[in-house]
A and B are shown apart, each in its own frame.
Chain A
Amino acid sequence: MENATKLLNVKKLLKKYSMTIALAVVFIMFAILTKGKILLSQNISNLLLQNAYVLVMACGMLLCILTGGNVDLSVGSTLCLVGAIAAQFMSAGLNPILTILICLVISMLIGIWQGFWIGYVHIPPFICTLAGMFLFRGLGRVILSSKTVNIADKTFLGIFTNYISVPGLDDGNIKWSAFAVGVAIAVFLIVYTAVSRAKKSKKGYTMSSSLIAYGKIVAIDALVVAYAWKLANYKGIPVMLLWILLVVLLYAFITSKTAFGRYFYAVGGNEKATKLSGIDTKKVYFVAYCSMSILAGFSGLLVAARIGSVNGDMGMSYEMDAIGSCFIGGASAYGGSGTVPGIVIGALLLGVINQGMSICGLDNNWQYVVKGAVLLVAVIFDVVSNHKTGKA
């Protein structure tokens, strides 16, 4: 009997961390296939930078999907439009800080536009954002006059693409500041876990077993330190990583801790019941789509800075990367469930596959085939293992 319950627990655990395990397996597989090239410091460092836009936009997309499996198709176009505006403003000589602020305000206006139609006029999100996809792509190309506009402003590029360098510490080949930050985070995580567990046991709440809790934290710590070491061996901590962390942590906090974050889950779980509980469901939709556009615009700045130029095709099909990450990361296609850590895993899985295949030299077209298959398999796995058979 005890063995049986143990087996059941192991099964549960495997199910809960299935995507994390998949990520590890895929990563190891590519490490072997690329003969370790994917493990090079430069590649590890670039993995996140290349996928910055996916991580940032997946956070916003999660809110949209939570409301009932709704997606925002316009984000790739919004990204292009905002990037185009930034590029043109700066080539006209506008101050880069002012440019960034204006771009974020424009993103918010786009968000208000979409959120208003979807939340308050009940236009189906799919159609409204499909229209947005054409609208903003077109406007972006008009602003660029169908040309590629370069961004030369050093301040602007620096805000997004610099590496943190502490004089005296990071002068050598190894950027010790990165490693130090990694170790500090690892120590903080352990202390935080211990303190919060002590608090819980004092109040007499039930907790997960200490073996699992500490095992988990040690594994995370090992990864953090290893990652920090890799960064230290390349150019140090990229500023873009900080931007990503800012967004991811903010959204993780909103969705798991705040009352308003709770409402997104409630609307996706049962909209009618949510409304009758006195929750403003229109506002929930509005905020979801508004925040999505702001993040899309912000990603526009990230991508523009990373590439150093903007053209009319920038951000093409990026919406699918964001949506795919959410679903691979375990967000329900029917709404009401999904977490930020989950979608981060989803985005990383997609990112590792992309990078691994590129290093292997696999044809671009085949990469699409693999991505599609991974998405389908992930969702099938999710639906079958959780017995989520449609709305019933």
Chain B
Amino acid sequence: MRAATFLAIALVLGTAACTERDQSLYQGKVENGKPAYEGTGVQAFTAPGWTPGDRNSWEQELKTRAQRGQNDYSRVSN
């Protein structure tokens, strides 16, 4: 029992240095607190097909737009 406890502590201490470096994308200070999916508030220039403020609909709109506008293989097959 004592040996098992000692082994467990040794393992925890031994693997403590194996943490991964932070690989988050963000560097610097994000100056504008508003993300892009909040929209500009100008309806006339906003693309239809998504709801400003809804992150998922914004991302989906950009993906759809990329496929529709840039993937000519899928455009030809449709």
Task: Determine if chain A interacts with chain B.
Answer: no
Residues of A within 8 A of B (CB): none
